[in-house]
Amino acid sequence: MSDDDFETELADAFEDEFDADGAAAATAAENAAAFRADFDEDLTAEDVLDRVESHTGDFEHRFDYAVGDLASENDDCTDSREYRIAGYDPMAAEPNQGF
């Protein structure tokens, strides 16, 4: 499956199965394709969809958790934020966060 087919299949499924809006679906599909290219060329659209399905909440959170799951299984990926819809949260650098 080419990267274009991978992205298209995911974007369509994100909209159809998870009620993602078009922009979020396109961003998520692009990010999943980038993760695939950078870390796991054998990653299938079905693998991504299964991971998203395994989480609850709105689409963006489900996708971000799914990316975290995929990254945790890959020893070469130590920071998955670049592949998440939320990206780099500015609060991540706040030392008093959570206190």
Per residue in 3-57, pLDDT tens? 679 999 999 999 999 999 999 999 999 999 999 999 999 999 999 999 999 999 9
What residue segments make up the domains of the chain, in order of their start?
A: 3-93
Query: What is this structure's pTM?
Result: 0.85
Alpha-carbon distance values, 29 to 50, 87, 89 (Å): 14, 14, 20
What per-residue confidence (pLDDT) applies to 4?
74
